[in-house]
């Protein structure tokens, strides 16, 4: 680079000066040209002239910092490890730049344009004509455009992504057989879950043909009935990893029926395969940790489950033991034989109560009959009435016989009922034990109601057959040979006797 001097004056070497010439006895001083100081504006103008001629176009690489927009123009600084350069990107310049609108702090770019000096402040800056991302340029633009296109087509939708199996049995690796990534994945896989089968398909992961190799091997691996396909490689530059953002690779991932894990590069690397794949892993090693269970964790889980199972079994045994003790203490109360015995005892009590009720009813009826008999005797005015009394006694005897017969029949019915009840109780105990008391009470009540109604009818019949009652009402009894006769049974010439409440009189049938 040129060296520029600001000392525009003549130099005089010491050995070219003759100090003896023109020396007189009078004092005389030799004068030299004196260096003049430049003004700030002059210095700035000279620097501007030099920079405008020698730095008409430069390309500077650096990281954007202090980014801002004022009056439509972009102002920021480019920095590296040692220096900072001010930059201006005018609006009429960056409107044609494909990446200008996405610039932000932290982006590494290559800025292109002239260096300009701003005289009033004595500062210089780079006035950008254009820029591109550092290291990628058009390749990065291709990446961004394809990403936006695939986003619209639904390549990245979560709804179509498949879940990973919890315990995979077969995993296929698509990576270079000579790369470090496969060694790391194998090591971690053996440490975490050695029960899984691993298949390596040697695949190009860098270079122009890599995208075709990856797409072809993805299609092949999808037919091997694996649980997971891991597509991965170690770190590299954006250009090295760009094959994982190629459309053939992305279409092949989308077409896979087997879940695909994208494990490309390092944490900071983000290829389009990461968005299309079912799961994205930051590194190949991390992919193994994500898709494989840890055997030590599984052992601990098994121990915990074993302890929990033992605890549940012990709790269940203790609960069943308590239930058994409770049932054993109450088995006598729940025994069918005990319940049958109690029901038989109750039945006997009901039977005794029924007999006592019937006997009491008979005794009361006998008393009523005796009372009616005494009343009838007191109202008998004639011997015929005595005869009627005797007849009433006969009726009373017959009634007693009927009652005895009735009681014998009812006792037979009770015996039959008892037999039927015993049979019913056996069936009743197996089907409707809880309804026993209700049904017995209902049956007894119905029986008592029927018997009460029967006795009431007999009492009414007895009263209705009392001759004295009929005579008192104005009726006349027709007697032939002291027997009550109906008019239809009489014949001409029969001697009869007519009896009413006032007396009797003889007569002949004509």
What would the pLDDT profile of 154-198 be if each residue is shown by its tens digit?
Answer: 999 989 899 989 889 899 999 988 877 888 888 888 888 888 888
Residue 342 has what pLDDT?
82
Rounded CA-CA distance 393/471 in Å is 18
Cβ–Cβ < 8 Å for 177, 200:
yes
Model confidence at 14: pLDDT above 50:
no
Average of pLDDT values for 398-415? 81
Q: How far is CA 87 from the centre of its chain?
A: 58
Residue 43 has what pLDDT?
87
Model confidence at 490: pLDDT above 90:
no
3-state DSSP percent of the chain in helix, strand and coil, to 5: 55, 15, 30
> What six digits make up the tokens of 300?
């601990």
**Percent of the chain residues topping a pLDDT of 90:** 21
Cα dihedral 99/105/109/111 (nearest 10): 90
Identify the residue with better confidence: 473 or 101.
101
Rounded CA-CA distance 179/127 in Å is 44
**Cα dihedral sign, 227-264-272-250:** negative
Q: What is the mean pLDDT of the chain?
A: 81
Q: Please state the pTM of the whole predicted model.
A: 0.41
């Amino acid at each position: 680079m040129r060296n520029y001097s600001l000392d525009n004056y003549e130099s005089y070497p010491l050995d070219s000066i003759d100090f003896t010439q023109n020396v007189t006895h009078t004092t005389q001083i030799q004068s030299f040209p004196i260096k003049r100081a430049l003004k700030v504006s002059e210095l700035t103008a000279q620097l501007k002239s030099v920079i405008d001629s020698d730095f008409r176009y430069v390309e500077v690489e650096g990281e954007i910092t202090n980014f801002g927009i004022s009056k439509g123009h972009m102002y920021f600084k480019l920095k590296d490890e040692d220096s900072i350069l001010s930059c201006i990107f005018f609006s009429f310049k960056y409107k044609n730049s494909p990446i200008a609108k996405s610039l932000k702090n932290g982006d590494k770019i290559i800025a292109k344009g002239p260096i300009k000096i701003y005289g009033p402040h004595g500062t210089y800056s780079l006035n950008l004509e254009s820029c591109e991302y550092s290291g990628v340029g058009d390749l990065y633009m291709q990446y961004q455009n394809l990403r936006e296109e695939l986003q619209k087509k639904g390549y990245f939708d979560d709804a179509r992504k498949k879940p990973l199996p919890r315990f995979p049995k077969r995993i296929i690796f698509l990576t270079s057989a000579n790369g470090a990534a496969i060694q790391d994945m194998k090591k971690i896989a053996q440490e975490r879950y050695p029960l899984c089968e691993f298949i390596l398909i040697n695949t190009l992961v860098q270079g122009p043909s890599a995208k075709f190799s990856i797409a072809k091997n993805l299609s092949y691996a999808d037919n091997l009935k694996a649980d997971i396909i891991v597509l991965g490689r170690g770190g590299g530059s954006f250009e090295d990893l760009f094959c994982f953002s190629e459309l053939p690779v992305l279409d092949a991932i989308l077409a896979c029926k087997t879940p695909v894990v994208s494990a490309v590069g390092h944490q900071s690397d983000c290829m389009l395969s990461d968005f299309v794949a079912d799961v994205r892993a930051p590194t190949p090693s991390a992919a193994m940790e994500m898709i494989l269970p840890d055997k030590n964790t599984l052992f601990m889980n098994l121990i915990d489950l074993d302890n929990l199972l033992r605890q549940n079994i012990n709790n269940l045994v203790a609960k069943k033991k308590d239930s058994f003790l409770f049932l054993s203490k109450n088995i006598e109360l729940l025994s069918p034989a005990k319940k049958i015995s109690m029901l038989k005892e109750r039945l006997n009590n009901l039977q005794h109560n029924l007999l006592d009720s019937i006997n009491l009813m008979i005794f009361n009826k006998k008393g009523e009959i005796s009372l009616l008999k005494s009343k009838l005797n007191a109202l008998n005015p004639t011997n015929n009435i005595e005869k009627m009394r005797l007849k009433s006694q006969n009726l009373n005897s017959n009634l007693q016989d009927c009652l005895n017969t009735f009681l014998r029949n009812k006792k037979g019915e009770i015996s039959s009922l008892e037999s039927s009840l015993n049979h019913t109780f056996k069936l009743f105990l197996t089907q409707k034990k809880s309804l026993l008391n209700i049904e017995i009470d209902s049956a007894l009540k119905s029986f008592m109601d029927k018997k009460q109604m029967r006795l009431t009818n007999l009492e009414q019949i007895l009263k209705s057959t009392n001759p004295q009652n009929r005579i008192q009402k104005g009726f006349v009894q027709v007697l032939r040979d002291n027997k009550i006769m109906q008019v239809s049974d009489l014949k001409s010439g029969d001697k009869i006797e007519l009896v009413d409440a006032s007396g009797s009189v003889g007569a002949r049938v004509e």
